[in-house]
Every structure is written in structure tokens, then in C-alpha cells.
Amino acid sequence: MIPEGLIHAAEILQSAQRVVVSTGAGMSRESGIPTFRDAQEGLWARFNPEELATERGFRTAPARVWGWYAHRRRAIMSCEPHPGHGALVALERLLPELVVVTQNIDGLHQASGSADVIELHGSIRRSKCLDHGHPFAGAFDEEIAGGEDAEQDPPPCPDCGSPLRPDVVWFGEMLPAAATTRAREFAEQCDVMLVVGTSGMVWPAAELPFVAERSGACIIEINPDPSEITRIADVFLQGRAGEVLPALVQALNVLRH
């Protein structure tokens, strides 16, 4: 028997025209993506986040910061999407319009086939140059002549020679304007926002469900634990993304047939 909450969520989705899926770190958990803190092991444990994830830290010690991101990139690239990512791709095919807005920098939504993904905090799979922001999407020979945990000099930008940095949002930086504007527009216009695996504590991403709710959207939340979003959720589906999302797609398929 399908649990009542799942049926209710599926009914809401079935009549929706425009759905936004807002994902956070919990969405990547079952893929084994290490958090910033998880990755801070060995050599890296002695640095604080300001030294590893700020422009100032990069300007002070570019080889340290580039080496840290090479270390993180290597860990992230060895992870695979899980069935919850696949369920979002299936959902996209069942509904008129679905866009994913993510705080995650791992690129797993795109890797699993989601067509429209707005990345609020950038992507570790891309780089850009420090001085002009020229984008660089090429891969790096991961990496590091010196082996695991070694510092390494950032490669120069092919366009201008300035050092490349990861295209992620560092502490103290603005979120990318185009991504933020688009995400906010979708939040204002959607019928349903499905919020998956976020504590709702990191702003401005955390504001999106509140914007959607104020604009009249239904909020469905998936999380093993209550979050800052739970009090505005019309349906709270307690559980893991990798289990609840496939069950939700199954419930929607049952309703449709």
C-alpha cells in the first residue's frame, strides 16, 4: 500500500504545470559526496575554511587552494548519481515543466540527465580565471604530479594567463547573478516546490521555498529530519532522497494509470 503522504504529494504534482525542485547537500548524501568538512582530512585538517575557500586565501596561497580543490574534485568525480537523481529525471518526463535549483557543486543532477539545472553555488567541474572570470570547462589531469594532498600551482587561463580558480562560490562572495535571478523567478511562478535534502539555513538559497510559498505554491519536502522549511511544507515526506523520490515517481505513475 502506498503511504498517504506519498499519494497526497503525487496528487499535488499531477495537477502542477511548473515545478521547481530545490536540492541541498542531503540530496548528494547517498552518492557519498564528502562535505567540505569531511574532505578536510590529513594535510588539509590544519587549515581553516577561510584559508581554503576565500579569494583572499587563494591570493595568499594559490597552490594550496588549487591543490585542495583538486583533492575535492577527485573525490567528487568518483561518486555516481543515486536512484533519487534518476527519479528526478523521470519526474521531469512526467510533468509539463520541471527545473532543478541546487546548492550542490558536484554536478550530479546533470550527470544523471536532468535537463535544466540552476547551480546557485557554482560547480567544481568548471573553472574560471581569477582576474576576468573567463570560463574554463576543460578537465585537468587529476592530477597532481606530487600525488594525493599535494599543493599544486593553478594552471593559467588560456585566454589571458591569469590563474584559474574553481567556479564555485567562496565565502564572502555573491552568488552568480543570472542563476539567482532565474531561481527567484521560478520560485515566484511555480505551482509546486519540492525541497530535498536542505537544512534551510544557508541563505539566500534558503529563501526560495518561502518565496514560493508566499506566491501561492504548494511545498513538498523530503528530508529524514525536520528542517527550517518543514513548518511551511504542505506535505513532509520523512526519509532519504534515494528512497522517497523513486517512491514518489511510482505513486505518480499509479495515479496516472
Catalytically active residues, by annotation: 121
Q: Does 126 bind ligand APR (CB under 6 A)?
A: no
Residue where the block lists cell 510559498: 213
How far apart, in whole angstroms, are the C-alpha atoms of residue 104 and residue 32? 13
Q: Does 176 bind ligand APR (CB under 6 A)?
A: no
- For 177, the grid coordinates are 547573478
Q: Would you count residue 22 as binding ligand APR (CB under 6 A)? A: no
Residue span binding ligand APR (CB under 6 A) among the ranges 12-20, 23-31, 89-97, 155-163: 23-31
Among all chains, which residue has been given the C-alpha cell 518565496?
211
Measured distance CA(91)–CA(86) in Å, rounded: 9
Near ligand APR by CB under 6 A: residue from 162, 199, 230, 250: 199
Q: What is the closest distance, in whole angstroms, from the C-beta atom of residue 62 to ligand APR in the complex?
A: 22
As measured in angstroms, the least distance from the Cβ of 74 to ligand APR is 19
Written as one letter, the residue type at 115 is A
Beta bridge partners of 218: 192
Among 240, 247, 249, 252, binds ligand APR (CB under 6 A): 240
Q: Pick the piece of the chain touching ligand APR (CB under 6 A) from 56-64, 137-145, 217-225, 246-254.
A: 217-225
- Report which secondary-structure segment, H or E, holds 7: helix 4-14
Report which of 70, 65, 71, 77 is spatially closest to residue 106, judged by C-alpha positions. Answer: 77
CA distances from 186 to 99, 169, 194, 231 (A): 8, 21, 12, 21
167 binds ligand APR (CB under 6 A): no
Query: According to the 3-state scheme, what is the secondary structure of 30-58?
Result: CCCCCCHHHHCCHHHHHCCHHHHCCHHHH
Binding flag, residue 121, ligand APR (CB under 6 A):
yes
d(CA 234, CA 221) in angstroms, rounded, equals 8
Point out which span in 56-64, 90-98, 132-140, 195-203 binds ligand APR (CB under 6 A): 195-203
Which range binds ligand APR by CB under 6 A, 41-49, 55-63, 108-116, 199-207? 199-207
Work out how close the CB of 225 gets to ligand APR at its nearest, in angstroms, rounded to a whole number. Answer: 4
Q: Which residue is nearest to ligand APR (CB)?
A: 26
Position 227 contacts ligand APR (CB under 6 A): yes
172 binds ligand APR, rule: CB under 6 A: no
